[in-house]
Amino acid sequence: MKIATWNVNSVKARIDAVLGWLKEATPDVVGFQEIKCLDEAFPRLEFEALGYNVETFGQKTYNGVAILSRHPIEDVTRGLPGFEDTQSRYIEAVIAPKGGKAIRFCCLYLPNGNPVASEKYPYKLDWMAALQARVEALLPLEESLVVAGDYNVIPTPADVHDPAAWAKDALFLPTTRAAWRRLANLGLTDAIRACNALPGQYTFWDYQAGAWPKNNGIRIDHLMLSPQAADRLASAGIDRHVRSWDKASDHVPAWCTLQ
C-alpha cells in the first residue's frame, strides 16, 4: 500500500498538477491539506474518475483536509477529537482493503503558529498537545496507524537549509521541537527519516526569494507510523520534482509504502 501526504495549497487552483501527480505516482491512499474549499465545492468527480473514494473536511478559503483512497473508507472522524476548533485541520479514517491489511489514517494540517508573539503560537502548542492525546488513545488499539500531513514543524537542523535563519520561527522553536519529540517518543517512526537519513530532504520551498532554485527548503510534511505500521515499512520518499511543475504548490508530496 502506497500512502502519501500533500499540502496542495488550493485543490481547485492546482487541479491539473494534482491529477497529473496522481496518475504518475498512483498512491493507494493520500491525504491533502489546505484544500481551501467547502465540501460541496471539492472536485470530487475528477478524483472519483481516477478510482478514488473521497472524504473531505473543508473550509471556505482557508485550511481544509481530505482523504482519497482506492480502498473503502470507513469510520471517518472530522475534527481532532477532544479539541474545540473552528478550523478544518484534521480528518481520520480506517482504510480497509478487501482481503488486505487495514490501516488507520490520520490526515492533519497543524497550525503554523506565526507570529510567535500572537495567540497563534499557543493555539499551535495546544493543537499539538491534543494530537499527542489522540495518538496516545489510538496506540493501544495496536493498529497500523499512519499520522500524516503538514505538521508545520522542522524536527531537526538537518531538516532546514539554514537553521539560523529559522531560529525564531514557530516551526523551529525549541518548544515546538520538544512537542514534536513528545509525539515521536510515544513510539512513532518518521517514515522518511527511517529510509533516508541524509540532510537536504525537503518538502517545502517558499515562493519568495528564489527559494526553489536555490534549494532553500525545509522538511515539514511527515508520515509518522505506529510500531505496527513501521514493521510494514518498505520504502519512503519525497517527490520533489513536482515543485517545478506549472502552478505548483509550495509543498511537494511525501509518501511511504507498507507491505
Instruction: Out of 52, 90, 109, 151, pick the active-site residue.
Output: 109
Instruction: Out of 52, 90, 121, 150, pick the active-site residue.
Output: 150
Q: Judge contact between 102 and 143, C-beta under 8 A.
A: yes
Cell of 63: 485550511
Beta bridge partners of 254: 5, 238
Distance CA 28, CA 52 (A): 8
150 a catalytic residue: yes
39 a catalytic residue: no
Q: Is the dihedral of CA 100, 77, 170, 13 positive or negative?
A: positive
Distance CA 104, CA 114 (A): 30
Q: Judge contact between 39 and 32, C-beta under 8 A.
A: no
Beta bridge partners of 106: 92, 147
* DSSP result, 171-214: TT-HHHHHHHHHHHTTT-EEHHHHH---S---SEE-SSTTHHHH
Catalytic residues: 109, 150
